[in-house]
Amino acid sequence: MADTTLGHKDKTQPQTQSSRHWVWSIVLLCFYGFMVQLKPGEPFITPFLLSSEKNFTQEQVTNEINPVLSYSYMVVLVPVFLLTDYLRYKPVLVLQSLSHVSIWLLLLLGTTLLQMQFMEFFYGVTMATRVAYSSYIFSLVSPALYQRVASYSRAAVLLGVFTSSVLGQLCVSLADVSYGTLSAISLGFVSFGLLLASSLPWPRRSMYFNKEQLDIQPESCSLKHSDSLYPARQGVLARLKNSVLFQMLKELENVVRVPQLRLWSLWWIFNSTGYYLVIFYAHVLWNKVDPTTENKRVYNGGVEAASTLLGALTSFMAGFVKIRWNLWSELVIGIVTALQASLLLLMATTSSIWVCYVSYALFRGFYQFLVPIAIFQIASSLSKELCALVFGVNTFLGTILKTIITIIVADKRGLALSVHPQFMVYFFYFTLLTVVYLGCAAWVIIRHYCSSGEGGASAVATPQEATPTEMMPMATVAEEENQLANGMKA
């Protein structure tokens, strides 16, 4: 009896130690996610560049400095996506922190146009490496805990962005801190973030390249010596074709055939493109509308804090929307896109800085409302690995489109439009999307009710159509085991 009790204690002790290990890893990672967002000078980068301290012109910022961000993001996105998984996350997080440090060093010490373009290049690197943070956390816990830890990491990032914006605004408005000093404070925070990134634990597995190796290794230990040599005899191409990533790439063809996955993927590509173009140039627009030289009257930090809070609120509200998304998705997307187009028209034509501020916050709030819905619609029927790949492909395609628009509209080698005509272009872009979405919505709704009226059999909705779609927890381990190779439920 005593031996049985002792054996039970021996089994539970490693489990308790393992549980404590991942709990502290999650706490450390969330703390890193919070600290890496503490850059109180970030909302004031554009005013800093246009101030007498840096003395760049609006044309240089709009047509020569800002476009580099889109270009660098597109160039490094795919290599970073692959290296993130291959190197198991931590080195890419260290690279992200090093890029943050480079940004603020260049802002503090740089004086030439080329140095500011390098600053934007490193900004693109930090954006591309965000995937490492969102993926890292899933390598630490079991699938049953994915949703919970994802909410923790998301909350840590949002809290960091909000705190950073509020802190920056308080420093500028109340303490009369200069933009240079604010940049030095930001450099201190991101340097501390680099130390945190270096101290993060190194995961043993990842989603694509390291998963297969680790999963196969225990089985290979039980094989005979002659069988264990078989993987070594395989060619590089054969191993590549058998890899998880290659199999997932082949499954993308099936994803495109599913209407809801196709719709929300296209929304992710086209609407995210317009969203980030607006975000990149909004601060330039504000400086054009209200070219004040008094730092206390620049409220960029407060607006960013308010828009972050509003975005978090609308994202939360999206979880309670219960409608038949297979019927009404196009209509909802069309209405939200039309509202965003109206706000862009308002920003492009108004002479009131406060109208610009409110329109910007609402514009971001509408986008953040649809983001969790899009994530659910795409992720609910896919495996974790395929879901990550779909979002990666969607982001990359959106980045290519954003780069093309930037070259044509903003770059000095293209039309080199000033900021107000640019926002008119973005207004027409969202208007075109609205027409397409509403046209598709009319087609889907008319076809649905016409088919419902043809007979009694067609009038009865299928269970998938009759059940409202709502935000649901991520599939448990048992549910994931019942998924097909492409993630669709059997």
pLDDT digits 0-9 by tens, 330-371: 999 999 999 999 999 999 999 999 999 999 999 999 999 999
With a cut of 90, say whether residue 404 has pLDDT above it.
Answer: yes
With a cut of 50, say whether residue 162 has pLDDT above it.
Answer: yes
Q: Would you tell me how many other CB atoms lie within 10 Å of the CB of residue 476?
A: 13
pLDDT of residue 478: 34
The distance of Cα 166 from the centroid of its chain, to the nearest Å, equals 22
What the block records as the tokens of 151 is 């909410």
* CA 213 vs CA 18, 141, 231, 312: distances in Å: 22, 18, 11, 39
Query: Which of 1-15, 299-313, 314-328 is least confident?
Result: 1-15
Cα separation, 373 vs 412, in Å, equals 37
Cα separation, 146 vs 361, in Å, equals 30
Residues 49 and 56: beta-carbon distance below 8 Å: yes
Residues of 248-284 as b/e, b for ≥16 C-beta within 10 angstroms?
beebeebbeebebbebbbbbbbbbbbbbbbbebbbbb
pLDDT of residue 15: 53
The mean pLDDT of 150-178, rounded to a whole number, is 92
Query: What is the pLDDT confidence band of residue 174, given thresholds at 50, 70 and 90?
Result: very high
The mean pLDDT of 31-41, rounded to a whole number, is 94
Q: Is residue 489 classed as helix, strand or coil in its secondary structure?
A: strand
Query: What is the pLDDT confidence band of residue 439, given thresholds at 50, 70 and 90?
Result: very high
**In degrees rounded to 5, what are phi and psi of residue 124?**
-60, -35
Query: What is the pLDDT confidence band of residue 376, given thresholds at 50, 70 and 90?
Result: confident
Q: Which residues contact 188 (CB under 8 A, 6 or more apart)?
A: none
With a cut of 90, say whether residue 60 has pLDDT above it.
Answer: yes
The mean pLDDT of 416-435, rounded to a whole number, is 97
The model's pTM is 0.83
Task: Count the alpha carbons within 13 Å of 476 in the hemisphere toward its beta carbon.
Answer: 1
Query: What is the pLDDT confidence band of residue 391, given thresholds at 50, 70 and 90?
Result: confident
pLDDT of residue 232: 43
Cα separation, 48 vs 52, in Å, equals 8
Q: To which residue do tokens 């999206």 refer? A: 318
Length of the chain: 490
Q: By C-alpha distance, which of 239, 189, 238, 236 is closest to 213?
A: 239
Question: What are the residues facing 112 on neighbouring strands?
Answer: none
* CA 59 vs CA 34, 264, 407: distances in Å: 34, 36, 15
Which domains are assigned to the chain? 27-209 (1.20.1250.20), 245-490 (1.20.1250.20)
pLDDT of residue 343: 98
The mean pLDDT of 262-286, rounded to a whole number, is 96
Q: What is the chain's mean pLDDT, rounded?
A: 82
Q: Would you tell me how many other CB atoms lie within 10 Å of the CB of residue 56?
A: 19
Cα separation, 437 vs 443, in Å, equals 10
Q: Which one-letter DSSP state was computed for residue 483? A: B
With a cut of 50, say whether residue 461 has pLDDT above it.
Answer: no
With a cut of 60, say whether residue 437 has pLDDT above it.
Answer: yes
Residue 446, burial from CB neighbour count under 10 angstroms (0-12, 13-18, 19+): exposed
**In 319-352, which ranges are continuous DSSP H helix?**
325-349
The mean pLDDT of 273-298, rounded to a whole number, is 93
With a cut of 70, say whether residue 458 has pLDDT above it.
Answer: no
pLDDT of residue 87: 84
Query: Which of 44-48, 189-193, 280-284, 461-465 is least confident?
Result: 461-465
**In degrees rounded to 5, what are phi and psi of residue 489?**
-70, 145
Query: What is the pLDDT confidence band of residue 127, given thresholds at 50, 70 and 90?
Result: very high
Query: What is the pLDDT confidence band of residue 225, given thresholds at 50, 70 and 90?
Result: very low
